[in-house]
Amino acid sequence: MLPHYPTLKTKSNEKQKMSEKGEVVCVTGASGYIASWLVKFLLEAGYTVKATVRNPNDPKKVEHLKALEGAKERLHLFEANLVEEGSFDSVIDGCQGVFHTASPVLIQVSDPQTELINPAVTGTLNVLRSCKKVPSIKRVVITSSMASVMFNSDPLNSDVIVDETWYSDPLFCEKTKQWYGLSKTLAEKAAWNFCEENGLELVTLHPGFVIGPYLQPDLNLTTEAFLNLIKEGQQMWPSGIYRYVDVRDVARAHVLAFKNPSASGRYCLVRKVMHSFNALKILSGIFPSLNLPANRETEAAIEDPPYHVSKEKAESLKLDFTPIEVTLRDTVQCLKDKNVLDF
């Protein structure tokens, strides 16, 4: 595993408890899956949210945000470009906190450097450069991924517990063509280095395979992959192993990571590691009319869970993970309600 990134000594112990009321925060990539829920929870908590999107005039990107409770009074939309330095200056000015969620999420790419790595790394640094110019910033929370935690040659088995001390190896990512993992790993490392050098307080969150109901009008990558698993048995990962976490838990973790003065370092966000057939088995019990196939021979042959991801540090934020049965149920119900799954 790589050396420990978060060497920055935070000023958390010197802070008074943060108050949501009246505080102004920025959310980058606000129209995304996780970010939409984050904006919702921030507005419900009383924050004023300055949200960046690629095109504020595109109804498909912003109407679901404008419809949120409190949006009319406390949501302000801005256009910003990840790869344009200074693009976030005016948005972040006057904020107390920044949630950087914007980063490309792609599995199949033809040019990983242009499509994934440059936007992830350059975009992160551009946001942090803007934060550096604003003395009122208390903390930056970055949405990273388990992809920057566990893409390495360390063996995984049922006795292994992955935690925040694990790091993905860029050379391993390159060798195995895990381009998304490489982009998140390099972006995280760049963020920790920049914040240490410039005295910014940083927390990084590392969600696994995010599912749950979605607020945006269109499917995102993970919900589409989950839909394909239900409809066709088509798995995104050849291993059939998924690190499930509820999108609502991920969004809540962002809020907690900002408002909790003692929050620091990295946080893994995974409710349960399980094989796809076990997820389908649970759903068969909840929605018998789905008529999901059961593979008893496979179930008997494969041990579950194949490994574990520690929830201890995330739970220290007072994050109560949603039961996996509830997440699976609510995901399918959302797909049905939005008329993309018929049963």
| Residues 5-21, mean pLDDT to the nearest whole number | 44
Q: Helix/strand/coil (H, E, C) string of 74-102?
A: HEEEEECCCCCCCCCHHHHCCCCEEEECC
Determine the Cα–Cα distance for residues 128 and 280; give it in Å rounded to an integer. 41
- Residue 107's pLDDT band, with cuts at 50, 70 and 90, is confident
The answer to whether residue 26 is domain-embedded is yes
Contact by Cβ (8 Å): 230, 281: no
Does any domain span residue 311? yes
Query: Is residue 10 one of the residues assigned to a domain?
Result: no
Going by C-alpha positions, the residue among 237, 231, 201, 206 that lies closest to residue 293 is 231
Between helices 247-259 and 33-44, what is the axis angle to 10°?
A: 50
CA 126 to centroid of chain Cα atoms: 19
Residue 166 and residue 157: Cα distance in Å, rounded?
A: 15
Per-residue confidence (pLDDT) for residue 103, from 0 to 100: 86
pLDDT at 184: 97
pLDDT confidence of residue 5: 55
- The answer to whether residue 84 is domain-embedded is yes
Cβ–Cβ under 8 Å, residues 125 and 194: yes
Say how many domains are in the chain. 1
* 293 pLDDT tier (thresholds 50, 70, 90): confident
Q: Considering the domain boundaries, does residue 334 fall inside one? A: no
User: What is the reported pLDDT for 305?
Assistant: 83
At 308, which amino acid appears?
Answer: H
In the chain, % of residues over pLDDT 70: 91
The residue ranking higher by pLDDT, 240 or 163, is 163
287 or 7: whose pLDDT is higher?
287
Can you tell me the mean pLDDT for 61-88?
95
Question: CA separation (Å) from 54 to 76, 78, 113?
Answer: 14, 8, 20
Nearest to 210 by CA among 70, 7, 33: 33
- Residue 288 domain-assigned (yes or no): no
What proportion of the chain, given as a percentage, has pLDDT over 90? 80
Tell me the three state secondary structure of residue 209: strand
Residues of the domain holding 27: 22-211+244-270+307-315
Could you read off the pLDDT of 211-242 as tens digits, one per residue?
A: 999 999 999 999 999 999 999 888 888 888 99
* Position 238 in a domain: no
Determine the pLDDT at residue 238: 81
pLDDT at residue 207 greater than cutoff 90: yes
Q: What local confidence, expressed as pLDDT, does residue 110 receive? A: 84
Residue 103, in any domain of the structure: yes
Q: Residue 30 sits in a domain of what CATH number?
A: 3.40.50.720
What pLDDT is recorded for position 11? 41
Q: Is the pLDDT of residue 10 over 60?
A: no
